[in-house]
């Protein structure tokens, strides 16, 4: 897995997008809580345009990747996808952005209490949002994965670990990254 800069993530070519990005911000208490509970990333989002991500905050929205400059970021691409596959995913992601779906706080609480079925059916937290895009387009079963659980599914969804970013001065090590060591770290 190669070491990335935030700029190198921002300039991933459109022909390689959309991609999935997992994050962990060790300076954010909510991010630390999820990381402590699951042992993996605390957030997952789409990189759907160069320099832009589609992410589930209070609503599902688009924002610049540079808003995640303090987070560790792991990027997964889908090299076997055809241009038609990529277009289908871009269209679905755009539909979800325009819908502005609200955040499923109850679903996060359900995972914290070890009751993953506890959630609001028409709302999504981040990993549900990204997984549900795959579910709709690939006819997958309904699940309520944590970011760490979803990350473990990506090899089976043709995902390929592209690289990782560690912010300057970040004390969190490369143990965040999925079964890989960053080259050059």
* Per-residue model confidence as pLDDT tens digits over 81-95: 999 999 999 999 999
Task: Calculate mean pLDDT across residues 51-63.
Answer: 93
| CA atoms of 63 and 182, how far apart (whole Å) | 26
Sign of CA dihedral 67, 35, 102, 141: positive
Model confidence at 70: pLDDT above 80: yes
Q: Does a structural domain hold residue 33?
A: yes
- pLDDT band (50, 70, 90) for residue 36: low
pTM of the model: 0.87
Range of the domain at 26: 2-176
What span, in angstroms and rounded, lies between the C-alpha atoms of 134 and 130?
A: 7
pLDDT in tens, 93-132: 999 999 988 887 777 777 777 777 787 788 888 888 999 9
Helix axes 83-99, 126-138, angle to 10 degrees: 130
The region, left, alpha or beta by phi > 0 then psi within -120 to 50, assigned to residue 129 is alpha
Mean pLDDT over residues 45-49, rounded?
Answer: 96
Give the position of tokens 């599914």. Answer: 153
Q: What is the CATH number of the domain that holds 59?
A: 3.90.1720.10
Closest CA to 49 of 21, 22, 69, 84: 21
pLDDT score of 185: 43
pLDDT value at position 46? 97
Is residue 111 in a domain? yes
pLDDT at 182: 45
How much is the pLDDT for 128?
Answer: 87
Q: Is the distance from CB of 55 to CB of 63 less than 8 angstroms? A: yes
In a domain, 115, yes or no: yes
pLDDT at 48: 97
Mean pLDDT over each residue of the chain, to the nearest integer: 85
185 part of a folded domain: no
User: Residue 73 domain-assigned?
Assistant: yes
The Cα 173–Cα 181 span in angstroms is: 10
What mean pLDDT is predicted for residues 38-47? 85
- Which residue intervals of the chain are DSSP H helices? 6-10, 29-38, 83-99, 105-112, 126-138, 147-153
Total domains in the chain come to 1
How far, in Å, CA of 162 to CA of 14, rounded? 15
Does a structural domain hold residue 156?
A: yes
pLDDT, tens digit (0-9, with 9 covering 90-100), for 128-160: 899 999 999 999 988 888 888 899 899 999 999
Peptide bond into 64 cis (omega under 30): no
Mean pLDDT of 15-34: 82
Identify which of 52, 27, 53 has the alpha carbon closest to the alpha carbon of residue 42.
Answer: 27
For residue 177, is pLDDT > 70?
no
- Is 183 within a domain? no
Residue 31 has pLDDT above 90, yes or no: no
């Amino acid at each position: 897995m190669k070491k990335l800069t935030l700029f190198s993530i921002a300039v991933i070519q459109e022909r390689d997008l959309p991609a999935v990005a997992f994050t962990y911000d060790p300076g954010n208490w909510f991010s630390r809580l999820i990381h402590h509970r699951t042992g993996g990333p605390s957030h997952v989002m789409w990189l759907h345009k160069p320099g832009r991500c589609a992410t589930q905050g209070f609503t599902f929205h688009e924002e610049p990747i540079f808003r995640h400059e303090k987070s560790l970021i792991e990027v997964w691409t889908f090299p076997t996808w055809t241009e038609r596959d990529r277009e289908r995913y871009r269209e679905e992601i755009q539909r979800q952005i325009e819908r502005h779906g609200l955040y499923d706080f109850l679903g996060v609480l359900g995972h914290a209490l070890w009751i993953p079925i506890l959630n609001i059916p028409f709302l999504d937290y981040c990993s549900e949002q990204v997984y549900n895009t795959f579910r709709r387009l690939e006819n997958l079963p309904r699940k309520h994965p944590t970011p760490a659980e979803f990350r473990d599914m990506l090899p089976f969804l043709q995902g390929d670990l592209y690289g990782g970013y560690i912010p300057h001065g970040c004390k969190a090590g490369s143990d965040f990254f999925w079964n890989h060591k960053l080259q050059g770290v």
